């Protein structure tokens, strides 16, 4: 995807001035140039916005998985001890992480 986006950004507008496209040629060239510009806008959006957000979300998922694994034994022990306060605190920590991560999507 990056290669496509970078290629689109660097690609010059198509030059069809030496080709007879008939009476609708000017409109066709205009539409091609508009589509090329839209492709550049989309390519920049991918590189500058969409891809970084997707990568951040993927990192957040991995980090949450690690956090959950670290909390699992603590939560299980709290259940075994019937320690509601510790269980509630651990679950609230996980919920806080989920809420924080969901705001970044």
pLDDT digits (tens, 9 = 90+) for 5-43: 999 999 999 999 889 889 898 899 999 999 999 999 999
DSSP 8-class letter at 21:
-
Q: What is the pTM of this model?
A: 0.74
DSSP character string of 49-103: IIHHHHHHHHHHHHHHHHHHHHHHHHHHHHHHHT-HHHHHHHHHHHHHHHHHHHH
For residue range 46-78, list pLDDT tens digits in order: 999 999 999 999 999 999 999 999 999 999 999
- Report the C-alpha gap between 38 and 8 in whole angstroms: 10
**Domain encompassing residue 34:** 2-103
**Tokens 């306060």 appear where?**
85
Number of structural domains the chain divides into: 1
Task: Please state, rounded to an integer, the average pLDDT across all residues of the chain.
Answer: 95
Whether 32 and 16 have beta carbons less than 8 Å apart is answered as yes
Q: pLDDT tens digit string along 91-101?
A: 999 999 999 99
């Amino acid at each position: 995807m990056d290669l496509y986006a970078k290629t689109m950004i660097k690609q010059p507008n198509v030059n069809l001035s030496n080709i007879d496209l008939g009476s609708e040629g000017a409109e066709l060239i205009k539409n091609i140039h508009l589509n090329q510009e839209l492709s550049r806008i989309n390519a920049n959006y991918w590189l500058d916005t969409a891809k970084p957000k997707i990568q951040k979300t993927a990192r957040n998922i991995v980090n949450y998985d690690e956090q959950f694994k670290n909390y699992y034994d603590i939560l299980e022990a709290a259940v075994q001890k019937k320690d509601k306060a510790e269980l509630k605190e651990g679950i609230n920590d996980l919920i806080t992480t989920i809420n924080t991560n969901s705001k970044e999507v």
